[in-house]
Amino acid sequence: MTIDVKCLVCRNADRRRLVELGWNGGMGADTIATVLGERAISARVITKHIKEHTDGDANVRAIVVEPERPMRERVLAIQKMQVDEVERRIDLAKQRAAELNAFHDATIAAGGKADPEWVPHDWSEFYDILGKDSQAAITSILRTQGLTDKREQKTNELKLGLFESMAKAGLAPKALIGGVEVPQLSAPEEVADDASD
């Protein structure tokens, strides 16, 4: 799947999914354009999108359509990308500092003149983790993680409350709560059949 910033269909993920599902379902480009009702998106624009920006085989109407993901999953993906990017920038800064320090050491080892004011480089020179942009990203990550933690805590509390209720009523599995006996129903009384009737 390719995304073209100039393509009117690619610009909106829901519109793209709708166009591609309509195409796979047997609708023509003219019909899809009419259903969308947007003047800018013509049958020609849809056909160009189908030919250039989709995976699969458009001729047999078997385009690979990206599934719609729940909002929670999408937010977690963005959070992961933010964490990965912060870590990548820190790694690049550490690598750059190590390269400059190694170059200086190699120059001295090769007989170069040592600068008396030279100070070894620290990675924080190349990435300011306390800067406003970094802090904004970290705050966003922490806020999203805090919401996730609260949601999980509520779920766990609900599960614990349900388990406690079941245990008090004698409905929890014996393996989990020990030797609590569940009340048993008594066997039904048998009535003797009178042969003298």
pTM over 0.85: no
Locate the DSSP E strands across the chain: 56-57, 62-63
Tokens read off for 19: 């166009």
Q: Which position has the higher pLDDT, 181 or 61?
A: 61
Which residue, 77, 65, 48, is CA-closest to 13? 65
The conformation of residue 172, written as its DSSP 8-state character, comes to S
pLDDT in tens, 92-123: 999 999 999 999 999 888 888 888 888 999 99
Q: Is residue 57 within 8 Å of residue 20, measured between CB atoms?
A: no
* Domain spans of the chain, in order of start: 13-63, 71-164
What does the pLDDT look like over 11-66, one tens digit per residue? 888 899 999 999 999 999 999 999 988 777 899 999 999 988 888 888 888 888 88
**pLDDT number for residue 161:** 76
- CB-based burial, 74-101: b 16+ in 10 Å, e otherwise: eeeeebeeeeeebeebbeebeeebeeee
The whole-number average pLDDT for the span 176-195 is: 67
